[in-house]
Structure 1
Amino acid sequence: MKRARDFFNATGNFSVKFGSEREELVVINDGASDLTFTAGYTTFTLKPGEVFDERITEFTSLTITAMGSFRGYVRDDA
């Protein structure tokens, strides 16, 4: 069973490296402008107010480019 872990929230650009591979990601754009993130081979743009909640190709790092605030987490085995 997957559980939420490695929570993050920030304003502006952000990057994090995880200790092991992850494959489930949640990002919530709380800002007033677009947010772009890259996790593994996935690059995606979120409009203000949108939520990304997906299983994607395994990744060990996450980079977010944003002007506003955002929050999120990854899911991993309990």
Structure 2
Amino acid sequence: MMKRARDFFSGTGNMTKKLVEECEELVIVNDGTEDLTFTAGYTTWTLKPGEVFDERITGFESIAITATGAYRGYVRNDA
């Protein structure tokens, strides 16, 4: 089944985003000059400046981001 991008987000500081439905695919781009930390589901990751996280992970309904620089992202879900 084809996945569609939805629930786009961007920011320059801390953010918690509640999703409309449970998702399993997440894309985050760290456009800043400092590390970005995010939690989706029960796992926390750190992205270095310029890194891209584009993975299928355990289902999650919210994303918590800790950052001091710019970032952007979205989730993918069934069409």
Q: TM-score range by the shorter chain?
A: over 0.9
Q: Distance in 2 between matches of 1:8 and 1:19?
A: 13
- Give, in angstroms, the shift of residue 41 of structure 1: 1.4
Identical-pair percentage? 72
User: Is residue 41 of structure 1 aligned with residue 42 of structure 2?
Assistant: yes
Structure 1 counterpart of 2:62: 61
Corresponding residue for 2:14? Answer: 13
| Structure 2: 5+ residue stretches without partners | none
Aligned to 1:77: 78
Equivalent pairs counted in the alignment come to 78
Alpha-carbon offset, residue 57 of structure 1: 0.3
RMSD over aligned Cα, in angstroms?
0.5
TM-superposed CA distance for 1:56, in Å, is 0.2
Question: TM-score, normalised on structure 1?
Answer: 0.97
Residue pair 1:8, 1:73 contacting (<8 A) in 2 also: yes
CA contact (8 A) 1:39 1:61 kept: yes
TM superposition shift of 1:20: 1.3
C-alpha contact 1:8 1:72 (8 A) present in aligned 2: yes
| 2-structure distance, mates of 1:37, 1:18 | 15
